[in-house]
Amino acid sequence: MVPMEYYLVVSTIMMFVGMYGFFTRRNLLAMLISVELILNSVDINFVVFNRYLFPEQLEGFFFAMFAIGVSAAETAVAIAIIINIYRNIRNIQVKNLNEMKN
């Protein structure tokens, strides 16, 4: 069996790649994808902890399933808003979203 640490290394890398992408990408869709990476790394964490450390209960699996569902709903709303921005200004670059600077 693959040791648990390997999975945790993968999920940690995903988490911080997502964070890096969120702060450096200047396109709304790319930022959304980065955030999805963070959420997926969390799902991996939950499933791995459940499978390796507490196999007698299913709490982690359930949490992962709910997290996937909720993040899908959030992504749907986010994409709807991004489409709305595209309709308004024909662009989804962050640098064009500076209407409200003082």
Q: How far is CA 86 from CA 28, 29, 74, 93, in A?
A: 10, 11, 18, 9
Decide: 47 and 60 in contact? Cβ < 8 Å.
yes
What residues contact residue 78 under an 8 Å CB cut-off, 6+ apart? Answer: 32
Binding site for another protein (CB under 8 A): 15, 18, 22, 28, 31-32, 35, 38-39, 41-42, 45-46, 49-50, 53-54, 57, 59-60, 62-63, 66-67, 70-71, 73-75, 77-78, 81-82, 84-85, 88-89, 97, 99-100, 102
What residues contact residue 20 under an 8 Å CB cut-off, 6+ apart? Answer: 34
Q: Give 10 or 67: the residue with its C-beta nearer to another protein.
A: 67
Closest CB 71 distance from another protein, rounded Å: 8
Closest CB 80 distance from another protein, rounded Å: 8
Closest CB 37 distance from another protein, rounded Å: 9
Distance CA 65, CA 67 (A): 5
Q: Give 6 or 62: the residue with its C-beta nearer to another protein.
A: 62
